[in-house]
Amino acid sequence: MRVSALMPVYNEEATIVESVRRVRAVPLDIELICVDDGSSDKTPEVLKQLKAEGEVDHFAAHERNRGKGAAVRTALQYATGDVVVIQDADLEYDPQELPRLLEPILSGRADAVFGSRFRGDTRRVLYYWHSMGNNLLTMLSNMATNLNLTDMETCYKMMRTDLMKSLPLSTDRFGIEPELTARLAQARARIYEVPISYSGRTYAEGKKIGWTDGAAAMWHIARSNFLSGKAPLYVPPTSAPRLTPARPLPSLADVRDREGKAVKG
């Protein structure tokens, strides 16, 4: 089976090479799709080189900055995998945890899996008001969707490709997070959460999301849940084979143990 990683990229010249390397180090069959969202630095040139070297499977570019949601929708058009996942290019999320997100889908329990930064795994200690804002937005989203998520704003959202392609997505910026959540709830998708680590950046290190995006997220929660059309009910194809790995997936601890031994060797 194949996982299509959708990577929206905007002014990540300093991190894009390492981000791609980390995705390629994951022991899964990954189709990497990168979309440059109108970067003003050398990110497009770096991505073109990575595409020429075969490290990136598909590369597309927006002439102007349109936002994360628009880049995700563009990347989704190229996805051919059984499963898709959104992967940021800023090193805040560890791709070695993708097998952990994949397991509930592989076992047939889930249609979509969220990686929660607030369920007890290792995370960098940063901004108090950011965490309070995340908690508030998650609570408002949960009230609208009747879900009990702990981290609606997480980047790591993995789901079956046919499911994501069936969702009516239109948000351009960071509103893609509450919109995806609302659409999955409307589709009656089976959603699971798994704990993930998180290495957040400071604004000096390039963090882009701010309080205006948080305010906009409240509008997108209301719009996606009450003021626009609904997603169709998701029914997995009965003819589709059950997604099962060719061999047992390694645990996160096993992967990191092998990486440690390789470094020592």
Q: Which residues neighbour 250 within 8 Å (Cβ) at sequence distance 6 or greater? A: 27, 99, 258
**Stretch 214-236: mean pLDDT:** 91
Q: How far apart are CA 261 and CA 265, in angstroms?
A: 6
Q: Average pLDDT over the chain, rounded to whole?
A: 87
**Stretch 231-248: mean pLDDT:** 65
Query: Both tokens of residue 123?
Result: 């995370």
pLDDT of 207 higher than 70: no
pTM for this entry: 0.84
218 exposure class (CB count in 10 Å sphere: 0-12, 13-18, 19+): middle
Q: How far apart are CA 14 and CA 58, in angstroms?
A: 20
Lowest mean pLDDT among 6-10, 52-56, 71-75, 171-175: 171-175
Per DSSP, the three-state class of 191 is strand
**Stretch 160-166: mean pLDDT:** 98
**Stretch 206-232: mean pLDDT:** 82
pLDDT of 250 higher than 70: no
Q: Around Cβ 264, how many Cβ atoms within 10 Å? A: 6
**What pLDDT is recorded for position 200?**
65
Domains and CATH numbers, the chain: 3-264 (3.90.550.10)
